[in-house]
Structure 1
Amino acid sequence: MKQSKICQLLDIKYPIFQGAMAWVAEEGLASAVSNAGGLGLIASGHAPKYIIKEKIDLARGMTSNTFGVNIMLMSPFVEDIVDLVIEEKVKVITTGAGSPGKYMKRFKEAGIIVIPVVASVAQARRMEKEGADAVVVEGMEGGGHIGKSTTMTLVPQVVDAVSIPVIAAGGIGDGRGVAAALMLGADAVQLGTRFLVSTESIAHDNFKGKVVKAKDIDTVVTGLLTGHPVRGLRNRLTKTFEKAEREEGGKENPNFDRLEDLGKGALKRAVIDGETKNSSMMAGQIAGMIKTDQQSCRDIIQELMLETKEVLKERYFEWV
């Protein structure tokens, strides 16, 4: 396949990004994706500078290919992480939970490629105006924190609205999804749930097993009242959360403290501890498509690209 603009910009072989999943996107997963020709990302989350510095160092010892760091802009350590990626000359960053505008001048002076994650046309336009090199456009089908629009409807609108490369995310799990995103005008795709169950992922086997067993209707969105909706697999916690949203103050006067308490440490319990009942098993709607947790990142990427080529050849070019 012809290399896209984003592949040329980042010096990666395939237009495949690995989602920056908190607790999951560690140096091992990021380096495995990068070694396989995609763009691996280390999630900084709410971790302090010294921890992310260690992860960057470890990743550099595991791959000579391009990898990046995701900066969570709501982190209490965001200023330190910004300093770190500049000091370490990280080639590319993605950002979430806010605008990187206040740091853009420093990023640009350091030669860092900046790719914010957005959930609307307005956000994409703003990021382009502020100097972003590309945007990840995330639809509500994805796992974790989501927006309100679907990938299918949002991606082409953003593509029409900006001149920088667009990376499609949310609801993409195989080559058919990759092909669809490319046809919508995206330069690349970002996948989270598919890499969550890879052999290099540190996610607990119990969590991976729940993803593999999931059906098409087994994810649910909670946190709508808080303004920070999250998609994950149904379990006891999601039911408790839904009940709390309905009963403890309701839509008119939600009990935010109660809802916040329910979410504290919930993702770590799933990823690290393997607790699957009272935890947040963040996963996208494509969980129902995943049939195995025995594939390496290299196997996943190779399969994705082979499927994409076959789909484009069989279902598109025959009409040209």
Structure 2
Amino acid sequence: MGYVAGAGLVAATSGAGGFGIIASATMSLDELRYAVAEVRRRTAAPFGVNLRADAPDAAERVDLLVAERVRLASFALAPSRDLIRRCADGGVLTMPSVGARRHAEKVAEWGVDAVLVQGAEGGGHTGGVPTTLLLPQVVDAVGIPVVAAGGFFDGRGLVAALAYGAAGVAMGTRFLLTSDSPVGAEVKRRYLDATVTGTVVTTRVDGVPHRVLRTALVDGLERSGRAGAALRALRHAAAFRRLSGLSWPALLRAGRAARHDRELTWAQTLMAANTPMLLRASMVEGRPESGVMSAGQVVGLIDDLPSCAELIDRIMKDADARLAALTAAR
């Protein structure tokens, strides 16, 4: 949800009764500070911030969340014990995203407050185990709340996740496709036109499995050789450095940390710079033909652009009706 889950979408989600989470990986520290203040200006409802655990300024970002009394820090990668402790000491809950049972068990032992489990159907970086198999595994393995992601878009999915033992569901693609989302009309149209087979999991964007809409650009990346991929990654690394304000030494330190934490090769580490720039081309600049569009397979079941308030109301009414029908059938 980089470049998508900013202050506007988060405030609209939380204000409507959901729990919005700012996607800060594509923000500088100052941009994150502004986004937190802007959400506060728009709603008094609680919200969270997603952080990169391997960011050079991760500790500073956690300190900002503590100072601003943000309710939750979520992490795309497993946070260190030190970051978990910083959050706990400051009254901020922690919820890393996991794609395997063993990862959930590890962070639960470290003292996180909840885990978000994403199955293979989910958009962005994803694993190979479907949500319907991964979710019950994790629920049975840990004694903390589990939030389910990957394949959810309506009240039926919410009820199904609760039946599996989840505490709730997280939705990325569904909230990207709302009228409150900042994504441009042409990009939203590409999403709405997609089918359930219109996504692909590729390693050619940033070196690790990434589910995106299938486009001519993605097909080209799949066919490209190593030399072309390396040159493209270098260009994107330089562009990301300028946008983020990081120095080359800081960017290299972040790369080393990511390589260690995620067990990446140096080639994969170099390619990681592709993601923010290719997402920016589509999500910010509105050029779907020049960027990538992360998407869950659920994109093929979405055909409208409600507001966050309309969507959440619809989900809850649908869930209530499903539960009532199940109860009546006993």
Short-chain TM bin: 0.7 to 0.9
Alpha-carbon distance in structure 2 between the residues aligned to 1:164 and 1:245: 44
2:109 alignment partner in structure 1: 129
Q: Residue 106 of structure 2 aligns to which amino acid in structure 1?
A: R
Query: Is residue 56 of structure 2 the alignment partner of residue 76 of structure 1?
Result: yes
Shift of 1:173: 1.2
Aligned residues: 295
- Contact 2:59/2:83, CA 8 A, preserved across alignment: no
2:176 alignment partner in structure 1: 196
Q: 1:211 aligns with which of 177, 186, 191?
A: 191
Q: 1:225 to 1:237 in 2, by over 3 A?
A: closer
Q: Secondary structure at the match of 2:78?
A: coil
Alpha-carbon distance in structure 2 between the residues aligned to 1:48 and 1:218: 33
Q: TM-score normalised to the size of structure 2?
A: 0.83
- Contact 2:212/2:293, CA 8 A, preserved across alignment: yes
1:110 alignment partner in structure 2: 90
1:187 alignment partner in structure 2: 167
Q: 1:31 to 1:264 in 2, by over 3 A?
A: closer
Shift of 1:145: 1.1
Q: 1:298 aligns with which of 295, 301, 309?
A: 309
- Contact 1:36/1:298, CA 8 A, preserved across alignment: yes
Shift of 1:99: 2.5
Alpha-carbon distance in structure 2 between the residues aligned to 1:94 and 1:298: 23
Q: 1:210 to 1:113 in 2, by over 3 A?
A: same
Alpha-carbon distance in structure 1 between the residues aligned to 2:206 and 2:198: 22
CA offset digits 1:188-229 (Å, max 9, x no partner)? 000000100111111111111111111111011111796521
Query: Is residue 292 of structure 2 the alignment partner of residue 312 of structure 1?
Result: no
Alpha-carbon distance in structure 2 between the residues aligned to 1:226 and 1:212: 25
Shift of 1:259: 5.2
Alpha-carbon distance in structure 2 between the residues aligned to 1:66 and 1:205: 29
Shift of 1:257: 8.4
Alpha-carbon distance in structure 1 between the residues aligned to 2:94 and 2:276: 30
Q: 1:283 to 1:126 in 2, by over 3 A?
A: same
Comparing 79-88 and 30-39, the one that deviates more = 79-88
Q: 1:262 to 1:94 in 2, by over 3 A?
A: closer
Q: TM-score normalised to the size of structure 1?
A: 0.86
Q: Secondary structure at the match of 1:232?
A: strand
Shift of 1:256: 5.1
Alpha-carbon distance in structure 1 between the residues aligned to 2:98 and 2:153: 20
Q: Secondary structure at the match of 2:51?
A: strand
- Contact 1:244/1:259, CA 8 A, preserved across alignment: no
Q: How does 1:24-173 map to 2 (within 5 A)?
A: 24-173=4-153
Q: Secondary structure at the match of 1:153?
A: helix
- Contact 1:139/1:146, CA 8 A, preserved across alignment: yes
Query: Is residue 284 of structure 2 the alignment partner of residue 272 of structure 1?
Result: yes
Q: Residue 80 of structure 1 aligns to which amino acid in structure 2?
A: E
2:3 alignment partner in structure 1: 23
Alpha-carbon distance in structure 1 between the residues aligned to 2:31 and 2:308: 24
- Contact 1:114/1:134, CA 8 A, preserved across alignment: yes
- Contact 2:118/2:149, CA 8 A, preserved across alignment: yes
- Contact 1:115/1:135, CA 8 A, preserved across alignment: yes
Structure 2, gaps ≥5 residues long: 230-264
Shift of 1:141: 0.7
Q: 1:311 to 1:145 in 2, by over 3 A?
A: same
Q: 1:226 to 1:205 in 2, by over 3 A?
A: closer
Alpha-carbon distance in structure 1 between the residues aligned to 2:87 and 2:38: 23
Q: 1:61 to 1:225 in 2, by over 3 A?
A: closer
Shift of 1:255: 6.5
Alpha-carbon distance in structure 2 between the residues aligned to 1:225 and 1:180: 32
Q: Residue 327 of structure 2 aligns to which amino acid in structure 1?
A: F
- Contact 1:46/1:72, CA 8 A, preserved across alignment: no
Q: 1:195 to 1:261 in 2, by over 3 A?
A: closer
Q: How does 1:227-306 map to 2 (within 5 A)?
A: 228-244=208-224, 263=275, 265-293=277-305, 295-306=306-317
Greater helix content = 2
Q: Residue 56 of structure 1 aligns to which amino acid in structure 2?
A: V
1:9 alignment partner in structure 2: none
Percent of aligned pairs with the same residue? 35
Q: Secondary structure at the match of 2:74?
A: strand
Q: 1:69 to 1:255 in 2, by over 3 A?
A: closer
